[in-house]
Structure 1
Amino acid sequence: MSVAQRQSQGSRRRTLLSAPLVIAAAAAALAGGMFSPARVAAQTTTSCAPNNGMPWMNTSEDPATRATQLLSVMTQAEKDQLLVGTGDPTTSGAADMIAAQPSLCIPPLIFNDGGEGISDDQQLYTAYPASVSDAAMWDPSLDNTFGQSIGSEAFQKDVNVWLAPGMDIGRIPMDGRNYEYSGEDPYLAGTTAAAVSHGVQSQNVIATLKHYAANDQETNRQTVSAQVDERTLQEIDLPAYDIAVQGGNGAGPTGAGAVMCGYNRINTIYACENPDTLTNDLKNEFGFSGFVMSDWGGTHSTVNAANAGLDQEHPSSTHLGTALETAVTNGQVSQARFDNMAYRVLYSMFRIGLFDNPIPAPTAPVATNVDTSAAQAVSQ
């Protein structure tokens, strides 16, 4: 249901009866380019052409090659800038940002919350149903439509990293954020998140799976230790993430480009510095090729976090800023690991099109029109 329109119960019944027709119209609208980011994206400037000493701007190369080429010319400080938020976003409603590096043609990263709509304190925005209601449809096609719609709105609002979908398992009814998730079924949660992420990333906006992992209660959320045996982790808490990151290692916008680790501890170790879940499970076993960011204020160390698999800190540079560079110099964190942190950020940016489709400066309030076929299909 949109902020701009609420239907009467009788009207809602009639609309639901015609939902297949609405969804078909939505699919046709999407196929016709309704949410094509090329409509509003600024063109890459001549100075960023590959023949001007910027080989990583060659769009015919694959994302891995481009990321490797760019990483090879970056200084330690330039790499580190990719790993920390500024805490001072310039975009209205944004949660954080990582500044652009124009000399290397690296665009900014603008982060925005809002699993049910792109949050913005100055502009209108479309309000979508809660994620738990969306999941109840069991309709990956419509989930993809929702992702395209919210991704388009994010892009037009100068946002290129969407801090959703949420996908923790709804095991505790009192969890105050269950509405952001997809219920208690790991398969449903993973399938829903994968479809939504695919839609979002088709608009050149990175989707972020959160809050990894076992972050399923509200009481003492930032300090609680979830005591979870290995079988429960592998059969209940982690499979949804496995599903949602699959297919993300090649060119194209399929698997989610980012994962956010939670505030909680997992078997006494903070989720954002837990090597078993971040590296052994997520990166090695599931094959996740993107980057892991902390929840806001969820980084608790430099050496332990970096070595465990955390790639990006928010909303500050307390632990992964100059402290990380010093740790690399001292040999506490290897140069290879430091480079891999920056590479993962660049890889997702190239794969999902952030270098080739710069976000535009927003010129007017934008909201997905409730009267369009796509928005109606998602809302109903």
Structure 2
Amino acid sequence: MRKAYTNASRIIKVLTLAVILRVSGANAQSTTPVYMDDTKPIKERVEDALKRMTLKEKIAVIHAQSKFSSPGVARLGIPENWTTDGPHGIRSEVLWDEWSQAGWTNDSCTAYPALTCLAATWNKDMALLYGKSIGEEARYRNKNILLGPGVNIYRSPLNGRNFEYMGEDPYLSSKMVVPYVKGVQQNGVAACVKHFALNNSEGNRHTVNVNVDDRTLYEIYLPAFKAAVQEGNAWAIMGSYNLYKGQHCCHNEFLLNDILRKEWGFEGVVVSDWGGVHDTRQAIFNGLDMEFGSWTNGLTEGNSNAYDSYYLARPYLKLINSGEVGTKELDEKVRRVLRLAFLTTMNKNRPLGSFATEEHALAARKIAQEGIVLLKNKGNVLPINLSKTKRVAVIGENAIKMMTVGGGSSSLKARYEVSPLEGIRKRFGNQAEVVYARGYVGDTSGNYNGVNTGQNLAEKRPAAELLAEAIKVAKSADVVIFIGGLNKSDRQDAEGYDRESLSLPYNQDKLIAELAKVNKNLVVVNISGNAVAMPWVNQVPAIVQGWFLGSEAGNALAAVLAGDANPSGKLTFTFPVKLTDNGAHALGQFPGNKDEVTYKEGIFVGYRWADAHKIKPLFAFGHGLSYTTFQYGKVTADKNTMSASDKVTFSVNVKNTGSREGEEVVQLYITDVKSSLPRPVKELKGFEKVSLKPGEQKTVSFTVDKTALSFFDAAKHEWVAEPGDFQALIGASSADIKTKAAFKLQ
């Protein structure tokens, strides 16, 4: 009989003090045991609890007992640990030992925008709001580990999981992940930052060994994780599926022991990705603390109650009992799991949280609006002038298709989802007629792990008829809004698969080109978490990057199209014209073969590659337009020479020269004029989002020290800032530098 899965199963009744005292052997004059006394330091509580645990209890707490939970110690009143996917919302409940839905009626969450959208706000306050809001939902559902955020670097536009991450730049990702982590953890919920590390493609993710030099590892692929640990104080890290130096990353000596623990001082738990563990001895000695999702000893996926056969379960206990391994490593793992409990489930001051509230819906909408990027707006087609618009044509399957379901582990059972068409009709409907034509058929399914959208997207009409209808509708409209792009189907934006092409699927390019011929007021909204090719870019006057926007998708998009919200998002990755404009593809190293991939492009990822090879992108990293205009003054520096222990501050005046209030992301890049090693033409080292009323100007300042000038010297295994000439470049994107200043490092 399957173990019952109810709210009651999560509630572990703390034993009476008399029982605890009897178990602990304390005398009658003793007070509350140290581990139960939250006035004591956590380290003391951990040691006290550890010495009371049996060997079997220690083994039990380091591996799963169900799909998403691990045991506590009921005898000592220490609760179970409950994890949940993230990172965009709290996943619906599944059965204890199956992926099938548990059938709850109160687990429909707020769907927040994908992390590509959050990063595109370039606003640390939005990251804090996001973390706080999703943390409240996790806490309300009694989860104490949120499996997110994801900070793997956008190496290729074909990586199916890019939509879950924060873009191509390590500095931007670092600055955005820290407030997210802090926001989550203020709710007594651990943020589990993932996937550590080098998980930059989905193809062959369980078998591929990533070859990367140390400099590239430290400069590009580790900074966001380091920031989450050292600045965000993340309580958990999730290992990745792939291998590095021949070891799987969930039990990787170099990544987990040498870097994460010894170099960075990480005190939290390392959680395996589901099914990411492959070897008991490596799991014992190479830094893993909690094992989830394994299928071992010949058990095939679908067999029940395999948990005692996990690598860190009975096989570990057998090695200890035989004397082949000691208990030192086990005690270290249990210490970290206990620390997690005292920070979360055993924290008496842990707030209660809230779930799927109006406040969370408003937060989701605010983040979505601020992350939407206006890529092109020739002739000011946007915002749509409703006083002069009688008929609006909305065309494209993505205008109606729900995007909260699908895509892998981030799939959600949302309380509601406002489609783009619904949002546009709600906002425009009282002032203009809104007509819809599908235009193309893409993915008609709507089911992931038993969560069903309930949409019937079946279409019997042939493609030619759909195209003809769309053209007819477009001809008679004042404005055409095409809403297409990718979806969360396999080989698009989805876990487990990489994209097969940079092109739009379902023959959308032809449809867009035909629409452009019949209506000059065409707006293309690209819904995706990835860059796409745009062969029609010169034919279309207005282009919007719409992302996967969550529950409030339609309302957020409509607000931007109508001008209620002034777009202020900026791209977090480069849109290449063609695939070979990307370094990984130019060098034939994506995704590699089944067993090996080599990051031959090294540190030249994204805009760094484009700059080094003088490639003009379709849209540059950091690019994003507004419905107003901004003027940059000349940058000034408080000094033109700095020492290694010194700092320099650069300041620039930015003025709103347009007719409406808007926000601009002012970006600071640093150039090392002459270096002993190859360096990027420029690297992002600061950004600030500033809000300006018409005619208003503000001074934006950036203070940098030698860390902003440094590169990682692999031979010395340290960060080095070489004396010499540098430049500070300030601009509106990596390709739109407005002003620069020279300075020296002594």
1:97 equivalent to 2:86? Answer: no
Aligned with 1:116 (options 68, 83, 88): 88
Taking the aligned partners of 1:297 and 1:53, their CA distance within structure 2 comes to 40
After TM superposition, give the deviation of residue 356 of structure 1 in Å. Answer: 2.3
Taking the aligned partners of 1:85 and 1:142, their CA distance within structure 2 comes to 34
After TM superposition, give the deviation of residue 141 of structure 1 in Å. Answer: 2.1
State the secondary structure of the residue aligned to 1:300: coil
Q: Which residue of 2 aligns with 1:203?
A: 187
Asked if the contact 1:369–1:375 (Cα under 8 Å) also holds between the matched residues in 2, the reply is no
State the secondary structure of the residue aligned to 2:270: strand
Aligned with 1:138 (options 122, 143, 162): 122
Sequence identity (%)? 35
Q: Which residue of 2 aligns with 1:310?
A: 288
After TM superposition, give the deviation of residue 299 of structure 1 in Å. Answer: 0.5
Taking the aligned partners of 1:339 and 1:284, their CA distance within structure 2 comes to 18
Largest Rg, 1 or 2: 2
Deviations 1:194-231 (A, max 9, x none): 21111111101111011110011011111111111111
Q: Which residue of 2 aligns with 1:60?
A: 39
Deviations 1:62-116 (A, max 9, x none): 222211111111111111111000124xxxxxxx101232221211111110211
Taking the aligned partners of 2:325 and 2:177, their CA distance within structure 1 comes to 33
Write the letter of the residue equivalent to 2:329. Answer: R
After TM superposition, give the deviation of residue 353 of structure 1 in Å. Answer: 3.2
Aligned with 1:193 (options 177, 183, 189): 177
State the secondary structure of the residue aligned to 1:56: helix
Gaps of 5+ in 1: 1-41, 89-95, 248-253
Aligned with 1:356 (options 343, 347, 368): 347
Distance 1:273 1:373, change over 3 A: closer
After TM superposition, give the deviation of residue 285 of structure 1 in Å. Answer: 0.3
Aligned with 1:47 (options 16, 20, 43): 16
Taking the aligned partners of 1:274 and 1:332, their CA distance within structure 2 comes to 21
1:333 equivalent to 2:317? Answer: no
Write the letter of the residue equivalent to 1:78. Answer: E
Of the structure 1 ranges 133-142 and 366-375, higher mean CA displacement relative to structure 2 is found in 366-375
Distance 1:97 1:185, change over 3 A: same
1:343 equivalent to 2:335? Answer: yes
Taking the aligned partners of 2:250 and 2:89, their CA distance within structure 1 comes to 26
Distance 1:343 1:43, change over 3 A: closer
Q: Which residue of 2 aligns with 1:296?
A: 274
Write the letter of the residue equivalent to 1:110. Answer: W
Q: Which residue of 2 aligns with 1:127?
A: 111
Bigger proportion of residues as helix:
1
Gaps of 5+ in 2: 1-10, 22-29, 94-103, 294-306, 370-746
Taking the aligned partners of 2:277 and 2:352, their CA distance within structure 1 comes to 31
State the secondary structure of the residue aligned to 2:271: strand
1:241 equivalent to 2:225? Answer: yes
Report the TM-score, using the length of structure 1 for normalisation.
0.78
After TM superposition, give the deviation of residue 326 of structure 1 in Å. Answer: 2.1
Taking the aligned partners of 1:45 and 1:256, their CA distance within structure 2 comes to 27
Q: Aligned residue pairs: how many?
A: 323
Asked if the contact 2:253–2:287 (Cα under 8 Å) also holds between the matched residues in 1, the reply is yes
Asked if the contact 2:46–2:339 (Cα under 8 Å) also holds between the matched residues in 1, the reply is yes
Higher relative contact order (CA 8 A, sep 6+): 1
Aligned with 1:173 (options 157, 166, 177): 157
Deviations 1:102-152 (A, max 9, x none): 221211111110211111154221011110110122222221111111111
Aligned positions of 1:3-18 closer than 5 A: none
Asked if the contact 2:289–2:334 (Cα under 8 Å) also holds between the matched residues in 1, the reply is yes
After TM superposition, give the deviation of residue 268 of structure 1 in Å. Answer: 2.2
Distance 1:361 1:81, change over 3 A: farther
After TM superposition, give the deviation of residue 374 of structure 1 in Å. Answer: 4.1
Asked if the contact 1:200–1:206 (Cα under 8 Å) also holds between the matched residues in 2, the reply is yes
1:72 equivalent to 2:51? Answer: yes
After TM superposition, give the deviation of residue 328 of structure 1 in Å. Answer: 2.6
